[in-house]
Amino acid sequence: LPLEGLQSGGAGPLYLKLRQSLEEAILSGKLNHGDALPPERDLADYANISRVTVRKAVDDLVRDGLLVRRHGSGTFVVRPVSRVEQSLSRLTSFTEDMARRGLNTRAEWLERGLFHPSPDEMMTLGLPADALVARLGRLRIADGMPLAIERASISTEFLPDPLAVTSSLYAALDKTRSRPVRAVQRISACNIKDPDASMLGVAVGAAGLSIERVSYLASGRVVEFTRSLYRGDAYDFVAELTLSE
Ligand code: GLP
């Protein structure tokens, strides 16, 4: 961190100078999303300033959403994302949406395997009680920024081997000729709680969008039942409206 010389360089309150150099380090990417900030005591010693000054600068950045305090574990960097516009009328995959914007996607797997279905899954996917269901739980990351947590359930009829999904679910469904052609999506507002908040690197209670997608084949069979949690600071959902006859 560029903290040397805070005392000598330029006029103005010290806490503002510290605030500014931290802000620059975050926005320029010197500090990464999710990085832990050194303890305030260490920052104060290192920059040779008082802890009160450090506290004031950190408080400011927490208020502006560039840092987040987590009880018992410290203060972490939140790098703001540029908001992504997402059409509400096209049935696309996360990988495709991001590729169109020139972003590379990566997943951290939270769950990937075959399970006994929950009552919800049985009902939505139309599964008998003795069937198995493929579950894919992923933290979805675009150019290093975690954007969403998605938990998809798919009938084994369409996805016999969940390990076959290495990156894109829809690409895997394409291969078994069961890519959905229609979907119903429900979006609701929520506050992001832990552990989701820490996976997404946002403050506990930050605004989120909870999205449920049920998608269908042309035959009307349900392919996918997915519950997603998107960062509220990252998405604008846009729908085109037409006057009905
Ligand atoms: C979106 C949808 C999910 C869908 C996913 C497929 O994120 N909300 O319901 O499962 O796209 O994306 P991919 O093919 O990249 O796995």
Residue nearest to atom 5 of ligand 1 (CA): 93
Quickly list DSSP for the chain.
Answer: ---TTTTTSSSS-HHHHHHHHHHHHHHTTSS-TTPBPPPHHHHHHHHT--HHHHHHHHHHHHHTTSEEEETTTEEEE-PPPPPEEEESSS---HHHHHHHTT--EEEEEEEEEEEPPPHHHHHHHT--TT--EEEEEEEEEETTEEEEEEEEEEETTT-S-GGG-SS-HHHHHHHTT---SEEEEEEEEEEPPTTHHHHHT--TT-EEEEEEEEEE-TTS-EEEEEEEEEETTTEEEE-------
Q: 85-142 pLDDT, tens per residue?
A: 888 889 999 999 989 888 889 999 999 999 999 999 999 999 998 999 999 999 999 9
Q: 178-203 pLDDT, tens per residue?
A: 999 999 999 999 999 999 999 999 99
For residue 8, pLDDT over 80 is answered with no
In terms of pTM, does the model score above 0.90?
Answer: no
Q: Confirm or reject: Cβ of 153 under 6 Å from ligand 1.
A: no
User: Which numbered atom of ligand 1 lies nearest the CA of 173?
Assistant: 14
Q: Confirm or reject: Cβ of 185 under 6 Å from ligand 1.
A: no
What would the mean pLDDT of 34-60 be, rounded to a whole number?
92
> What confidence score (pLDDT) does residue 239 get?
87
